[in-house]
Amino acid sequence: MKSRALRLTLFFVPLFLIPIISNSKTLNERVILISFDGVGLEKLMGYMSEPGWPDFGVKELISTGLSPSSTIATNPTLTASSHTSIHTGTYADEHGVVSNYYHLPRTMIDQGVSGFSSEFNRPAIWERAMAAGKRVGILSFPGADNESENQRRKGDFGIRYHSKEANAFLFRSTNSQFFPILNWDASLSYSQPKAVPVVFKEEVINENGLVVESERTIYLIALDLVDDNDTNYNALIWDNDQDMTNGTIGQPFRVNEWGQVSFTTKGVKKATWTKIFKLESDLSEIKVYIGTVHHTEAYPESFAREIEGKVGIWPGEPDSGVGRLIDQKTWLEQAYRLSNFFYDLLQYVAENKEWDLLLAYQPIVDEFGHAFTPPQPDTAGFQSALIKDEALMKNAYLHFNELIRKIIAIRDNNTNLVVVSDHGMAPIHTMAYPNRFLKSIGFINAEDDSGIHSTDEHTMKTQFIIKEKEPTGIYERIIEIPFTHYRTFTPSLFEKQNAYKGTTARAFASGGLAHVYLNVKGREELGIVEPGEEYDRLLNELKEKFENWVSNGKPVFSYVLKRSESSQLRLNHENSGDLILIARPGIHLQNILGGGPLIEPASFQGQHGYDAALSSMKPVVFAAGPGVQNKQVPLLKTVDVSPMVLHLLGIEGEKNFLLSQ
């Protein structure tokens, strides 16, 4: 495509001020701010217009509080950046979190950072609230993971979105590998129980303070729960040892049922969820899914222990191996389990802890959106997929609506509820590989494509799964490769003064957006592109190449912009690429290099990261409570959320809060 003028309609409309907060002179109320990742306004309004949509939940918010006719998110419409805009009330060109995954100046060209854990350049809503003496709880709100050295990304108490310690796998066994349990309670089984050892992997801190992988053996015991004078094993239970008289782990579970395995390592409680896929009564074949291992990362320590006792151990997100490792039903059960954990956590904290501001999170609609967004009408198999996937997506939105109902129910008369999402979702059909494209046009000539840079797995919902064709022993090994990139810069080549066989430019892609950085001398560590004439020539060449990259006769990108051209999209920040690529909706931009095609069919169904002006990217913003008027306004922006919440808390400087269309 040829570069075209940006659409400016939403940025240069006439402004007028609309007061939407209660006329009370002094506000000093509590606020629950909850983000429902991936809930799109267009999709929600479509479902709500259908017969039978419940009158509670969102409709109650609209009938009693603030609602917009339209909304707009910030660019890029990606979770990390969008949430930073929500919690700072600023755009990416101000706070500097320009994507889920991007490159920082003064680092090696192939070194990236996660937008979920990188520094932001404006004060967060929790920082401003705590500075005003408010007590803040943060329940996995993106951007507040308690990991920064300067302690900016934390509240007074909170829980972090935990990455897994170990991958899931399928455990297989046969009767020959079981052995009889000698010490057992006859009340637990009508036939002598049999056991087989299962090796679990976990992370431990060694004597040098390093996190290392360790192994733990737990026994899977077969039980006969039917008194029929015959030996038929029909249930399993977990045990730490081979002695059932001193207790077991959890309760017996049957085929298609779940059993939780919990254990403690060096004072840290850990757990995983397991499910029986197959259990022959004679134990000739069993097949058990062993989920990812997790522990609860919360602070302070007393709060972590409290949550473990009152709510449970962090359950983990749904497995990315749907269709390969697990079936769809199992994936759905995992997604709802995590969502219910988040609600139970919010309810417990709201009712039992002291707080002024709670920031909460719900990812379930985003998870469903990536997996089940109905395809576009011109996609093969559209009609059959539409019915199945649309039903799943509607169920996710109904679950969202039910959660709103339950949260309204736990809200007291002094508490305002603000509901927001970070973006919507669009169907995809194609994956494009900007780094492979760069390699094809000579900007990357990597000597070593084997090294992998891991990234924060919370940022990358979709992963590639590689499964061995034959089980290894009694295990079906699963290897998960994070949605990341292969090494593209080889210092040894630079040292040999053969720089152009290394990396001249590198793309960092997330969803529908990619930042392309030139490897500039003096800006990147070991940079090779001379500033000035060479930089300008290469940048213009790259821009033209990406503009002319097509898929099925259509441009891959809606926008190919130099950083200096991106001001109207609010992306003109030093952390942004020299080129900013926004894909045409329907195309996902994949980070990985390696060998393979430049373009191929998508392996999942929904994505975001596209132009915020698109109707499919519009988020939701609602508010209700004692400090909020019942009013519909023409437009709400996600950057309006932070000043609105601070005003409701009675924070000085926000008392005259107004919204502008």
Domains of the chain and CATH, by start: 31-62+123-163+296-428+618-660 (3.40.720), 169-290 (no CATH)
Confidence of residue 208 (pLDDT cuts 50, 70, 90): confident
pLDDT in tens, 538-593: 999 999 999 999 999 999 999 999 999 999 999 999 999 999 999 999 999 999 88
pLDDT in tens, 158-197: 999 988 898 899 999 999 999 999 999 888 899 999 999 9
pLDDT in the model for residue 563:
97
At 340, the amino acid letter reads: N
Return the top range by mean pLDDT from 91-100, 148-157, 368-377, 457-466.
Answer: 91-100
> Is residue 486 over pLDDT 50?
no
pLDDT in tens, 215-259: 999 999 999 999 999 999 999 999 999 999 999 999 999 999 999
pLDDT in the model for residue 426:
97
Cβ atoms within 10 Å, residue 24: 11
Quote the mean pLDDT of the chain.
86
What lies within 8 Å, CB to CB, of 565 at 6+ separation is 3
Strand pairing partners for 467?
478
d(CA 311, CA 305): 10
Rounded alpha-carbon distances, angstroms, from residue 71 to 80, 423, 606 = 19, 10, 20
> Is residue 640 over pLDDT 70?
yes
Of residues 2 and 217, the one with the higher pLDDT is 217
In sequence order, what E strands does 193-312 have?
194-205, 211-223, 235-239, 249-253, 258-265, 268-279, 286-290, 294-295, 298-299
Confidence of residue 322 (pLDDT cuts 50, 70, 90): low
pLDDT in the model for residue 530:
95
Share of the chain above pLDDT 90, in %: 74
At 342, the amino acid letter reads: F
Which sign does the torsion angle of CA 584, 585, 587, 590 carry? positive
Ranking 15-29, 338-352, 377-391, 393-407 by mean pLDDT, the lowest is 15-29
Closest CA relative to residue 172, chosen from 475, 470, 479: 475
Confidence of residue 446 (pLDDT cuts 50, 70, 90): low
pTM, rounded to two decimals = 0.87
Ranking 148-157, 309-318, 527-536, 600-609 by mean pLDDT, the lowest is 148-157
Closest CA relative to residue 410, chosen from 338, 368, 355, 366: 355
Does residue 289 sit in helix, strand or coil?
strand
Confidence of residue 284 (pLDDT cuts 50, 70, 90): very high
Task: Give the containing element (helix H, strand E) for 157.
Answer: strand 157-159
Of residues 540 and 14, the one with the higher pLDDT is 540
pLDDT in the model for residue 276:
98
Rounded alpha-carbon distances, angstroms, from residue 478 to 167, 277, 292 = 7, 16, 11
